[in-house]
Amino acid sequence: MAGCCHHESDFTGIDPAYKRILIAVILINAIMFLVEMLAGVKSNSQALQADALDFLGDSLTYGISLWAIGKSLTLRSNIAMLKGVSLLLMAIYVLASTFYKLWFTVTPDAGIMSSIAILAFAANVLSVLLLMKYKDGDANVRSVWLCSRNDAIGNLVVLLAASGVWVTDSALPDLIVAAFLATLFLSSSKQIIQQARHEKKHALEKDH
């Protein structure tokens, strides 16, 4: 979800084939949330847990995006605002728990981190390939593809953290990456809220 962008196009998602693909991507993200969160807790990896929350956020966001297809601009802007606020809360949680871990550090299991990061990367690449045909849709459609693409990049960062943990035998690389992911959540939250305000203003102007 981090670093999602917006792009104008005529395709708004009203296509049974696209909806089926979106449902498949939602299921992939939901499953990976469970897998990565359990692995993050078991391995004491803050980065894995942060990335797991990203999978959860994506599955919920994509579900809302699926429901919002064909709805009014005002409703879609209100939904976008809710997405932005949820990302903000997610970022605050990750930052708070990361700072807590600084005082109570436990070196994560680099082996589990690496294997799960590779699995998460594969899941996001699969999502990107499924959505590739629809990457140039409207903001609602395009943001789904961009989020999956950016999340695949984020998984590589988690893999880099696992390598750092293995080399240094320290939790610091894991905590740095978790904090980095939290800042991406904050950036995405800001962008989404600003876009939602702009779209809502535009909808109100059209109504009047």
Which amino acid does the sequence have at 50? A
Q: What confidence score (pLDDT) does residue 5 get? A: 46
Please give the pLDDT value at position 100: 78
pLDDT at 6: 44
Please give the average pLDDT of every successive group of 10 residues along the chain, which has 208 residues: 50 80 94 95 90 87 82 74 79 84 80 93 91 73 72 84 90 88 80 75 70
- What pLDDT score was predicted for residue 150? 72
Provide the pLDDT for residue 88: 85
The model's pTM is 0.76
Alpha-carbon span 113 to 54, nearest angstrom: 16
Query: How crowded is residue 21: how many other Cβ atoms within 10 Å of its Cβ?
Result: 18
13 near 141, Cβ under 8 Å?
A: yes
Give Cα separations from 172 to 91, 182, 202 (angstroms): 19, 15, 45
Position 72 scores a pLDDT of: 76
